[in-house]
């Protein structure tokens, strides 16, 4: 069904599929699983962000020992937060696409 979807729809569907592949049967991720997912699937966006205080705050919250798990909504917020602090947005502004 998504073969006919827009690029944005495909992007969100891909994010959902990746999340679901990592999530437990209840659809949640532990903090350790979330960190692993980010390091394996989101590396090009978070690369170079290691010294930014907000990045360190996010990663340190994923290192905390707690029973709290992350749901898909929190995961998307995390992706958006990491993307906004990255250099990706400036790189995208420099790219012109044709339609």
CATH code for position 44: 1.10.238.10
Provide the pLDDT confidence category of residue 59 given band limits of 50, 70 and 90: confident
Segments forming the whole domain that contains residue 29: 2-98
What is the spatial distance between Cα 69 and Cα 61, in angstroms, rounded to a whole number?
12
Report yes or no: 30 and 69 within 8 Å, Cβ to Cβ: yes
Q: State the residue for tokens 């798990």.
A: 69
Q: How many domains does the chain have?
A: 1
What is the spatial distance between Cα 99 and Cα 86, in angstroms, rounded to a whole number?
26
pTM confidence score:
0.77
Q: What is the pLDDT of residues 27-50, one digit of tens each?
A: 999 888 898 899 899 888 888 888
Q: What is the pLDDT of residue 98?
A: 58
Q: What is the pLDDT of residue 45?
A: 85
Mean local confidence (pLDDT), 9-19: 92
């Amino acid at each position: 069904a998504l073969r006919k979807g827009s690029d944005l729809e495909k992007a969100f569907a891909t994010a959902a599929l990746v999340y679901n592949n990592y999530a437990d049967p209840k659809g949640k991720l532990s903090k350790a699983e979330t960190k692993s997912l980010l390091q394996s699937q989101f590396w090009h966006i978070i690369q170079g962000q290691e010294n930014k205080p907000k990045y360190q705050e996010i990663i340190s919250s994923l290192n905390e020992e707690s029973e709290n798990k992350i749901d898909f909504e929190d995961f998307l917020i995390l992706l958006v937060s990491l993307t906004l602090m990255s250099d990706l947005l400036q790189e995208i502004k420099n790219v012109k696409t044709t339609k």
